[in-house]
Chains A and B, each alone.
Chain A
């Protein structure tokens, strides 16, 4: 596959690893805030390749994992209704709510459908005028433009039976929350490349300045990740060596520009408004989410189905929050592999394959398995 396979070349990977090891005078702690990057790091063993030079803390980058529990319960409530066709991205189906997940709703007769794109859901709505069609609009800034377009498209088509259950989360506020925590150990950030294709890189400069921490916008393929780490290590070494201030760099220039996609940004500003958002396992981060603008209230599933009041209790045994903040490694959690497994997940970090716990479980190393 063009422009993909070339960025998986093992020979170039070896050169990059050697370059990183040459320049690292000490071990560095790096965080990525992107589920896709977490998946790629663990699946390709990037952390293995850099063992000793770089420690990865996997941040709360999986929107599936951080979708608040009450939002899952609202989704389940809506999906259970007879007149509803509930459409969702595949990875949401196994995320546990307080008592069940979307799969169990389907088993009980709920019409729950997996779609690849939110526009597929508008198509379902157009084809089923006697049903209410709801799309579960989760994701970071990368997915928000797709979800926004489903609303705009539905409006253009005059659909009255389509609505969106919105639970968007934003990256920069999450990074701010992590960097502001007194327990923070992160020395450098890999910024999420595809979020930046939409939003540009402008939001990260202020973070670099405020916290004096280098940030490198990075892609997803092994060579992209290694190059992102290489630049980050270079910056961290420079800061330490000669006290120069931290910088923002773009290591994914083929896909990311400074201004991002302005057409998408306009749609986002039109369809969504910023709101405080609960992050599952972390708590409330102010101004860290998007919800549907009152201008599009007729497409707001929370209003249409009156589910905004649902309140929930997280499992006391689940330490997903600490894992998401990088304070605990998945295999250090007392429940890991015993009461919490992909088969019976306590929290969303074990359900989604991007969740750090599931990734550890799925791709776990032989050394840790020998002790399991």
Chain B
């Protein structure tokens, strides 16, 4: 059987014909022969666990310590977008949730809810992507589950990944740990993923070279921790996914009870993001990111942390964009380039394109 990482996803062809069917049928979720074939011939080769015994749960040996555990479900539509697909998000997104607790990710689970009628090529392509993303990140997909639901019940495919990792001794990172005076660092350009998705979304699609920034950030976090003697100077980390930079900073501000001041002029926004948000009437600060993080760092150590981030490719664009303050606890205030201020709030739900 082919090993993960050695098959070009775009040329992926199932090695054994699955009962001459090109699409998922309800039977693939039935737990019988069709299910077994799907796992043996599509998922396992993609995830590189070929040769392992299929069992109900994975058993792993872990060195003692604190375990970080997270779960996330991925329902993005469309499944494929510039630069990637739902598989990239499912792996990197969950790794990043672990990374933002300071944990080194060890393993992922992958649960699939597949809509009847989904083409096998599509599913195989996505599984291959997940296998490659996991392998690139040095994380294993150790167990999973497959269910099939009737046509119309699942937008093609929903994926849930749970991840677990170990938090190194002495590392205490959490949204409640931000302190007044902290410098706030963003690891790079914001708004790229959201713009890439919108560009292929029906009704508001447009042309752009922007691609998703989906990437695993655990190595970046490890580099940040290695740059300081005392890991406790890194207070809080968050990946600004849905709701963007605004949601991430507001949540930390509220949980820690600090105020936040952002310097708008310092926030790195690429031109494509600015122009797409321009004609749709959206705020780049609220647009989703999938390969960035926001860090609240003790100001005495922020330069060292920043330098460590900038030395890595996924942090090359890192910059300090603001600070935590004692005033207006729980509120984020942005300073405009004009010297005026505005209170920054999260949207109620999704941002909507506007004509006004």
- Are chains A and B touching directly in their complex (CB below 8 angstroms)? yes
Chain B 231-248 near chain A by CB (<8 Å), digits 1 or 0: 000000000000000000
**Interchain CB contact under 8 A, A366 and B341:** yes
Number of interface residues of A (CB under 8 A): 47
Residues of B within 8 A of A (CB): 202-204, 271, 274-275, 278-281, 327-328, 331, 333, 336-343, 345, 348-349, 352-356
Can you list 16 A-B pairs with a CB-CB distance of less than 8 A?
A: A14-B338, A45-B341, A49-B339, A64-B355, A89-B355, A90-B352, A91-B281, A103-B349, A114-B203, A114-B352, A115-B203, A352-B354, A354-B356, A362-B345, A365-B341, A366-B327
Q: Tell yes or no: A228 within 8 A of B by CB.
A: no
User: Who on chain B is nearest to A47 by CB?
Assistant: B340
Whether A44 pairs with B356 at a CB distance below 8 angstroms is: no
Apart from A10-B338, A45-B338, what are 20 other A-B pairs with CB-CB below 8 Å? A10-B337, A43-B336, A44-B340, A45-B339, A45-B340, A45-B342, A46-B340, A63-B356, A64-B356, A87-B203, A90-B354, A91-B355, A94-B352, A113-B202, A113-B203, A115-B203, A116-B204, A120-B203, A363-B343, A366-B327
In the assembled complex, the CB of B272 is this many whole angstroms from the nearest CB of chain A, namely 10
What residues of chain A have their CB less than 8 Å away from a CB belonging to chain B?
1, 4, 8, 10, 13-14, 35-36, 39, 42-46, 48-49, 62-64, 87, 89-91, 93-94, 103, 113-116, 120, 139, 143, 222, 342-343, 352-354, 361-366, 369-370
Which of B280, B281, B340 sits near A49, CB closer than 8 Å?
B340
What is the CB-to-nearest-CB distance from B98 to chain A, in angstroms, rounded to a whole number? 32
What distance in Å separates the Cβ of B186 from its nearest Cβ neighbour in chain A? 21
Cβ distance A114 to chain B, nearest Cβ, rounded Å? 5
Give the complex CA separation of A46 and B349 in angstroms.
27
B274 neighbours in A (Cβ, 8 Å): 1
Which residues of chain B are near A36, meaning CB under 8 Å?
356
Q: By the criterion CB–CB under 8 Å, are A139 and B341 in contact?
A: no
Interface core residue of A45, A103, A352 (most chain B CB under 10 Å)? A45
The chain A residue sitting closest to B198, CB to CB, is A116
Contacts of A343 in B (CB 8 A): 348
Q: Say which residue of B271, B328, B338, B352 sits within 8 Å of A1 (CB atoms).
A: B271
Which chain A positions have C-beta within 8 A of B338? Answer: 10, 13-14, 44-46, 49, 222
Known pairs A8-B337, A43-B342, A45-B341; A369 contacts B354 (CB<8 A): no
The residue in B331, B338, B348, B356 that gathers the most chain A C-beta atoms within 10 A of its C-beta is B356
Instruction: Given the known inter-chain contacts A116-B353, A363-B343, please indicate yes or no for A44 contacting B336, CB distance below 8 A.
Output: yes
B331 touches A89 (CB 8 A): no
Closest CB of chain B to A171's CB: distance in Å? 13
- Selected from A35, A45, A62, A120, the residue in CB contact (under 8 A) with B336 is A45
Contacting pair B345 A91 (CB below 8 A) = no
One of A48, A62, A143 near B340 (C-beta < 8 A): A48
Is B348 in contact with A91, judged by CB distance below 8 angstroms?
A: no
**Knowing A113-B203, A114-B204, A363-B343 touch, does A89 contact B337 (C-beta < 8 A)?**
no
Minimum Cβ distance to chain A for residue B332 (Å): 11
A89 touches B354 (CB 8 A): yes
Q: Which residues of A contact B355 (CB under 8 A)?
A: 63-64, 89, 91, 139, 143
Instruction: Give the distance in Å from the alpha carbon of A354 to the alpha carbon of B271 in the complex.
Output: 24
CB distance from A198 to the nearest CB of B (A): 14
Interface pair A364/B343, CB less than 8 Å apart: yes
Taken together as a complex, chains A and B put the C-alpha atoms of A63 and B349 apart, in Å, by 22
Closest A residue to B280 by beta carbon equals A116
Chain A min CB distance to B244 (Å): 15
The 5 A-B pairs with the shortest beta carbon distances in the complex, nearest first, are A45-B340, A90-B352, A35-B356, A354-B356, A90-B353
| CB closest residue in chain B, given A8 | B337
Q: How far is the CA of A90 from the CA of B328 in the complex (A)?
A: 32
Chain B residues with Cβ under 8 A from A90's Cβ?
281, 352-354
The count of A-to-B residue pairs whose CB atoms sit within 8 angstroms is: 101
Residue of A nearest to B274 (CB): A1
Complex formed: what's the CA distance from A280 to B342 in Å? Answer: 28
Are B354 and A366 closer than 8 Å at their CB atoms? no
Across the interface, A89 reaches (CB within 8 A) one of B275, B278, B343, B353, namely: B353
Which residue, of B281, B339, B355, has the highest number of chain A Cβ atoms within 10 A? B355
Q: Is the CB–CB distance between A366 and B203 below 8 Å?
A: no
Q: Are B340 and A1 in contact (CB under 8 A)?
A: no
Are B354 and A363 closer than 8 Å at their CB atoms?
no
Separation in Å of the A286 CB from the closest CB of chain B? Answer: 24
Given A45-B342, A363-B343, A369-B328: A91 in contact with B352 (beta carbons within 8 A): yes
Q: Report whether B278 and A366 are in contact in the complex, using a CB–CB cutoff of 8 Å.
A: no
Cα A103 to Cα B347 in complex, Å, equals 15
Closest to B271 in A: A1
Of the candidates A87, A343, A366, A370, the one having the most CB atoms from chain B within 10 angstroms of its own CB is: A366
Which residues of chain A are near B340, meaning CB under 8 Å? 44-46, 48-49
- What separation, in Å, do the CA atoms of A361 and B337 have in the docked complex? 21
**Could you tell me the distance between the alpha carbons of A333 and B352 in the complex, rounded to whole angstroms?**
26
B265 (CB) vs chain A CBs: closest residue:
A10
Report the bound CA distance from A82 to B354 in whole Å: 26
Most buried by B among A39, A90, A120: A90
* Chain A residue with Cβ nearest B355: A89
What residues of chain A lie closer than 8 Å to B333, measured between beta carbons?
Answer: 366
Instruction: For residue B121, give the distance in angstroms from its CB to the closest CB of chain A.
Output: 24
Asked if B343 contacts A365 (CB within 8 A), the reply is: yes
Which residues of chain B are within 8 angstroms of A43 by Cβ–Cβ distance? 336, 342
Do A369 and B348 touch across chains, with their CB atoms under 8 A apart?
A: no
Structural contact, B341 and A48, CB atoms closer than 8 A: yes
Task: Assess the B204–A115 pair: CB atoms within 8 A.
Answer: yes
Give B213 Cβ to nearest chain A Cβ, in Å: 21
Residue of B nearest to A4 (CB): B278
Identity of the chain A residue whose Cβ is nearest the Cβ of B354 in the assembled complex: A91
Residues of B within 8 A of A44 (CB): 336, 338, 340
CB nearest to B264 among chain A residues: A44
| A113 to B280 Cα, complex, angstroms | 15
Interchain CA distance A4-B277 in the complex, whole Å: 13
Minimum distance in angstroms from A356 CB to a CB of chain B: 12
- Point out the residues of chain A lying under 8 angstroms from B280, CB to CB: 116
> Within 8 Å CB of A353, what residues of B?
354, 356
B262 to chain A, nearest CB (A): 14
Complex Cα–Cα for A116 and B198 (A): 11
List chain B residues, Cβ under 8 A from A63: 355-356
Q: Which residues from A are CB-within-8-Å of B203? A: 87, 113-116, 120
Whether B356 lies near A352 (C-beta < 8 A) is yes
Known: A115-B204, A116-B204, A342-B348. A91 touches B341 (CB 8 A): no
Between B336, B337, B340, B348, the greatest number of chain A beta carbons within 10 A of the residue's beta carbon is seen for B340
Which residue of chain B lies nearest to A5 when distances are taken between CB atoms in the complex? Answer: B274
